[in-house]
Amino acid sequence: MVNMRLMFLGTSAATPTPERGLSSIALVRGYELLLFDVGEGMQRNFIKSGFGMNRKMKIFITHMHADHCIGVLGLLQTMSLQRRQTTLDIYGQPKLAEFIKENIRIINFGLTFDVNIHIINAEGVVVKENDYQVICCNANHSIPAYSYCLVEFDRPGIFNIEEAKRLGIPEGRLYYKLQHGEDIVYNGKTIKSSQITGPRRAGRKVGISGDTRPTDKLQSFFKDCDLLVFESTFSHDKHQKAVESFHSTATEAATLAKASNTKKLLLTHFSARYDETCQLINEALAIYGNAEAAEDLKVVDIPYR
């Protein structure tokens, strides 16, 4: 089992407020840290979180608006000042590579670690690991933008160790095969995996919208998320402004979450006009009962189903 939790490092839209920094979300899965967007000033909350600068990490940028990507420069420089050695992988659109490389050249700071910049040119799988993958989908924003999902692969079923011992199977390689769905032959007798191991157990799915209007494609993309973080820049009375600026309202975020069978909705990316998010969360709750408003440094655990 791998523990997973999400922390908001910045929840404001376009401009920071005294209480909210610019967009950044940290998804901690085991020892690995996955950052979605790196808004200016996110380092303070990053440091408060105690994540550390030298851990295994991936960064995913949703789009090239300043409030979502400028902070990556300062983060890279701080990591170097902290003598990071671990390779860092960054994923985003073609302009991201140009942005990072040119600014490093102009500002003239060196890196103590390797940075691999992975260009995303199409929807689909962005990165695939042994037990999860990150996939992307086109968002509907004023410039090219992506939404992301982290999708864990199904886990092996529960292993009945008492039955394995009763059958005399030695621990080790044969246990592994049975738990991962392989039938074995032991002492001339075929033992089926289904005799020892229960049905496979579903992994978790976490969705990150970035900046976007709601779309049917995103509704399908976020289907059955255990946790969906969706932008809620405006309240419903500002719907026309949301349309014009290619953002979403709390009502629209909740409608999409309900239609996609999301288990839990977190609203974020609030316009600085809202000192309080009561109006936004009340609008969402009127449509979808399991919704909360994000706050900087808010932590949300993501349990297995």
Q: What's the chain's Rg over C-alpha atoms?
A: 22
* 3-class secondary structure, 159: strand
Tell me if residue 67 is catalytic. yes
- Residue of 33, 231, 218, 39 whose CA lies nearest to 139: 218
Q: Which alpha helices (H) appear in 42-93, and where do they start and end?
A: 42-49, 66-69, 71-81
CA distance 222 to 217: 9
46: Cβ–Cβ under 8 A, 6 or more apart, which residues?
9, 24, 26, 75
**Do 46 and 8 meet the contact criterion of CB atoms below 8 Å apart?**
no
Residue 9 and residue 22: Cα distance in Å, rounded? 8
Closest CA to 61 of 125, 161, 148: 148
Given a contact cutoff of 8 angstroms between Cβ atoms, the answer to whether 148 and 133 are in contact is: no
Q: Which residues contact 240 (CB under 8 A, 6 or more apart)?
A: none
Amino acid at 83: R
Question: Which listed residue (37, 67, 211, 296) is catalytic?
Answer: 67
**Which residues are tagged catalytic?**
67
